[in-house]
Amino acid sequence: MEGFFNLIAEVWNEDLLGITVGNIFISLIIVIFSVIIRALLINRVFKILENLAKETETEADDILLETLEKPLGNVPLAIGLYLIIELLPLSGMADIFLTNIVKALIAFTIFSVLTKAIGPLFELLASRSWLTAALSMWLERFSRVLIWILAIAIILDIFGVQIGPIIAGLGLFSVAVALGAQDLFKNLISGILIIAENRFQPGDRIEVDGKLHGIVETIGFRSTMIRLFNTSPMIIPNKDLSDVNVINHGEMRYRRIRWQVNLVYSTSIEQLKRICSEITEYINNEDEGFAINPGQNSFAKAVEFGGSSIDVEILCYSATKDYTHYSELKEKLVHRIMEIVKDNKSDFAFPSRSIYVESSHEIEPQLKD
C-alpha cells in the first residue's frame, strides 16, 4: 500500500505547464464550491431575507434586496477566482491577466448594483418630487447608459486598453452619423420637448389631430407608442407628435355631461319647475358620483321652445374620469330623469307634425225636369 500512496503523491505533484495536478484539483474544488455558494446565496439566503422583508412596513428593505440579489451573486465567483490565482504558481502575463479578470468582475458587480438601484431611486423621486413619469423614465434610461459607459471604460482601463483614441474615433463617427441621421435627432429633440412641456404622460388618453385616439404607453427616445382602443399599438415618431394638435383627455378635471331633454307642450309651468328643480338637485349630489365644478354650476333649465317640445338643457360633471364609470353614471342619470318626468305626470316629446285637413261640402245643383 505504501507504494500505491507514493504513486498517488507522484501523480499529485506531477507538473503540467508549471502547475501540479494537485493545484489543478484544488482549483476545480474551489470553482465548484464558489458555484454552490452562489446558488445558496441567491436561492436560499436571499429568499429568507425577502420573506422577512415582506413582514416589515417599509419598502426600503424590499428594494435593497432586489437591488443586491443578482450583483452579489458575483462575489463568490470573484473570491473563488482570487483564491485560485493565489494558489496557482502563476507569473508574468497569466498572473496579470487573471488578476485583471478579478478586478473587472469586482467592477462589474459594483456597476451592476448601481444600475439596479437606478430604477427604485427614480420611482421614489417621481413620487416625491417634480419629476413626471416620462421624465423619470428618460433620466433612468440615460443614467443606465451613462453608468455602463463608465463601467466599460473602467474595465478597458483595467486591461490596459487606452480609451483616449477610442473616444476620439467615436467623436468622428458621431459626426458622420449625425449627418446621416437627422430624422433621429429631430425625433430625439421632439421627445425632449414633449417631456419638458409635459404635454402628456404614459397612461394618458390623448387625441391626435382629431383622428387618432388611444392611451399613451411609452415615450421613447425616437417614438411614442399609443395603444388604440381596439388594442392595436400605434408607433408615432416624436417629431410628428410635436407638430400637430394633441388633446390630452388625461388632464381633464371632470367629464362633462351636456344633454337636451324634450318635454311635451302639455307640461304645465309648475310641472316644468319641479322637473328642473329635482334634476338639478340630483346632479349636484356628490354622493351620486357627480362633481361640483367651481367654474360652472350644474343645472337643468328650460331654455327653448322647440318645434315640437319644450327643451330642457342639462349640464353636469362626472367625478370620475374612467370611461366605464362615466358610462355607468350617465345610465343612472337617464333612469333618474325618466323617473322624475314620470313622477311629475309629464312625458317626453318626439318630433311630430300635425296635419289639419279642411273639408268643404259642395252643393250639387239639382236638375229640373
**How many angstroms separate the CA atoms of 189 and 170, rounded?**
21
Question: How many residues are present in the chain?
Answer: 369
pLDDT tens-digit series, residues 308-356: 899 999 999 998 888 888 899 999 999 999 999 999 999 998 876 667 6
The yes-or-no verdict on residue 301 having pLDDT over 90 is yes
* pLDDT of 203: 83
* pLDDT of 281: 93
Q: Out of 226-230, 267-271, 362-366, give the one with best mean pLDDT.
A: 267-271
pLDDT tens-digit series, residues 337-350: 999 999 999 999 88
What is the rounded end-to-end Cα distance, in angstroms, of the chain?
A: 166
Looking at residues 270-283, what average pLDDT do you find?
Answer: 94
Q: Out of 185-189, 322-326, 360-364, give the one with best mean pLDDT.
A: 322-326
CB 143 within 8 Å of CB 118: yes
Question: Nearest-CA neighbor of 152 among 111, 116, 119, 117?
Answer: 111
**How many angstroms separate the CA atoms of 37 and 43, rounded?**
10
pLDDT tens-digit series, residues 229-240: 888 888 888 888
Q: How confident is the model at residue 32 (pLDDT cuts 50, 70, 90)?
A: confident
pLDDT tens-digit series, residues 59-97: 666 666 777 777 777 777 778 877 777 777 666 676 777
Looking at residues 259-278, what average pLDDT do you find?
Answer: 93
Looking at residues 272-293, what average pLDDT do you find?
Answer: 91
The 10 Å CB-count burial string (b at 16+, else e) for 3-25 is eeeeeeeeeeeeeeeebbeebbe
**How many angstroms separate the CA atoms of 278 and 268, rounded?**
16
* pLDDT of 282: 93
The yes-or-no verdict on residue 369 having pLDDT over 60 is no
Looking at residues 294-310, what average pLDDT do you find?
Answer: 89
* pLDDT of 340: 94
Q: How confident is the model at residue 125 (pLDDT cuts 50, 70, 90)?
A: low
Looking at residues 38-65, what average pLDDT do you find?
Answer: 72
Distance of CA 47 to the CA centre of its chain: 28
- Supply the pTM of this predicted model: 0.48
Strands 299-305 and 310-318 turn out to be: antiparallel
**How many angstroms separate the CA atoms of 182 and 165, rounded?**
26
Question: Nearest-CA neighbor of 61 among 46, 44, 41?
Answer: 46
**Amino acid identity for residue 145 in this structure:** V
Q: Does an H or E element contain 238, and which?
A: helix 238-242
Q: Which domains does the chain have, with CATH numbers?
A: 9-163 (no CATH), 186-251 (2.30.30.60), 255-343 (3.30.70.100)
* pLDDT of 173: 56
* pLDDT of 348: 92
- How many C-beta atoms surround the C-beta of residue 255 within 10 A? 20
214's CB contacts (< 8 A; 6+ apart) are: 205, 206, 226, 227, 228, 229, 234
DSSP secondary structure of 173-203:
HHHHHHHH-HHHHHHHHHHHHHHHTT---TT
* pLDDT of 169: 62
- How many C-beta atoms surround the C-beta of residue 227 within 10 A? 15
Distance of CA 32 to the CA centre of its chain: 42
The C-alpha cell 330623469 sits at 337
CB 216 within 8 Å of CB 201: yes
pLDDT tens-digit series, residues 6-19: 555 655 555 555 56
* pLDDT of 316: 93
Q: What is the average pLDDT score of the chain? A: 78
Q: Out of 119-128, 227-236, 265-274, give the one with best mean pLDDT.
A: 265-274
- Beta-bridge partner residues of 175: none
Greater pLDDT, 128 or 194: 194
* pLDDT of 143: 83
The yes-or-no verdict on residue 209 having pLDDT over 90 is no
